[in-house]
Chain A
Amino acid sequence: MMNIAIPILTMAALGFFFALGLAVAYQKLKVEEDPKIEMVFELLPMANCGACGFSGCHAFAVAVVKGEVEPNGCPVGGEEVATNIADALGLSAGEVIRKVARVHCRGNREAAKTRGQYLGIPSCAASHLVGGNKQCSFGCMGFGDCVDACLFDAMYMGNDGLPVILEEKCSACGKCVDACPRGIIELHPIAQNIMVFCQSLDSGKTARKVCKNACIACGICVRACPEGIIMEDNLAKITDQTKISPEQITAIEKCPTKAIGRIHKEEYER
């Protein structure tokens, strides 16, 4: 009998001793945390992608509870999460406009001329340091830093050497935007259906020489819709998508290099 009792009592005593120690330590070292933070944290998608501008989902939850950001600050969660958080905290959710990343370059292998063979580290950041592999110093280099940065498998490198974004998977976290050393990727509202597929600020002559699909600053689009499109540093720029009527879009699509136009679904199925 004693053979069983002694070990049991010993372990119980030890356990009690340590539990007591921890209980005392807990009281001394307690960290006060708003229970709301935990509540908001559990509603988040837990992607920890940092798209909201905070270091992770927990940091975002802290900021929402403190009122530093609106509940709709999480681009990954979108409207659903925003509503849930707003309900939980008794706030208004605010409107969530779903955005997607889009590539402002059509300088694929066929269209854009190369400067020579680049044999360095296969990354856009490294290639950009030495001026890139293409004659166009604004276009996509095609090493896929953006694809590597994507946390949601929403990007892949197309056969023509340009990244492809799967809009249904894109959560607009902005990782690819940051990854691109040339700032070719931008976030657009998903409803926007017309864009400029070029970033080149070269003069029309140079731009045309280095890439068949470059904006050559001819101004056809600006003449078609002066309210919504302007020419800035040899590059057409859409200032207000809402002012472009469907007829004007047809006129805009006369662009000789197709550097501006509708976003076609086929674009994403290369």
Chain B
Amino acid sequence: MELLALFISAILVNNFVLYYFLGICPFLGVSKKIDSALSMGLAVTFVMTITAVVSWMINHWILIPYKLDYLQIVSFILVIASLVQLVEMFIRKASPALYQALGIYLPLITTNCAIMGLALLAALKNFSFLKTVTFGIGSGLGFTLAIVLMASIREQLDLSDVPKPLKGAGIALIVAGIMALAFQGFSGMIK
């Protein structure tokens, strides 16, 4: 039950994009088409889940036993960077079209603070292994949900008459703000 609550809260209540405001770069950059937004979301979910697992192992088996907690950030960056490289190689091999569509935002998952935030939050809250994994998957799905919703809205925005000064990033940021307000409505759901 506790795990389920954590899972739901990671998706809706403590959504990384709309609650913590982490990972805004791909959120705005790859949210022009639903297809590529979904792929981006899934790529981030994959990286988040594996990062959660590997960083938990490093944290609990290496860093804490040797009292090296201060190396958390450095070693988590290492984990994230390697995983992103792996995902990039895999996508390039498996789907060159997707590789083109994600473009620069794929390697930029490395510097996506949502993933770093996930690893550090899990370590800070001292989650158990199962909880960490749940948190990772939930957060990834939360990111996917946010970016796909955003992409759907932006596809509609392309067809509407946006005032000139707000075109492009301006209206996207306003939409993101309104979405974040809407997501605040979930905050009473889980204590």
Contacts and interface: CB of A to CB of B under 8 A. Distances in A.
A31 B93 contact: yes
Given A7-B68, A10-B71, A31 B82 contact: no
B164 to A, nearest CB: 10
Interface in A86-120: none
B62 A10 contact: yes
Nearest to B82: A18
Contacts of B68: 6-7, 10
B78 interface: yes
B85 A14 contact: no
Interface in A49-104: 55, 58
B113 to A, nearest CB: 20
B191 to A, nearest CB: 38
B117 to A, nearest CB: 21
Contacts of A10: 62-63, 66, 68, 71
A29 B90 contact: yes
Interface residues of A, number: 18
Most chain B Cβ neighbours within 10 Å, of A6, A26, A29, A55? A29
Given A10-B66, A18-B78, A18-B82, A29 B71 contact: no
B51 to A, nearest CB: 12
A121 B79 contact: no
Nearest to B58: A14
A19 B86 CA distance: 11
Contact of A15 (B63, B78, B89, B100): B78
B75 A14 contact: yes
B82 A11 contact: no
Secondary structure class of chain B's binding surface, majority of residues:
helix
A18 B82 CA distance: 6
Contacts of A21: 82, 86
B92 to A, nearest CB: 5
Contacts of A14: 58, 62, 75, 78
Contacts of B130: none
A30 B58 CA distance: 28
Contact of B71 (A7, A19, A22): A7
B161 interface: yes
Contacts of B63: 10
B78 A26 contact: no
A14 B68 CA distance: 13
A1 interface: no
A4 B79 CA distance: 22
Given A22-B85, A31-B92, A11 B71 contact: yes
A56 B63 CA distance: 46
Interface string B80-104: 0010011001101100100010000
Contacts of A31: 92-93, 96
B89 A25 contact: yes
Nearest to A123: B161
Contact of B86 (A11, A25, A30): A25
Interface in B94-153: 96, 100
12 contacts: A6-B68, A10-B62, A10-B71, A11-B75, A11-B78, A14-B75, A18-B79, A18-B82, A21-B86, A22-B85, A29-B92, A31-B93
What are the nearest 9 A-B pairs in CB distance?
Answer: A18-B82, A29-B89, A29-B93, A25-B86, A31-B92, A7-B68, A22-B85, A121-B161, A31-B93
Given A18-B82, A21-B82, 9 more contacts: A7-B68, A10-B71, A14-B75, A15-B78, A21-B86, A22-B85, A25-B89, A31-B96, A121-B161
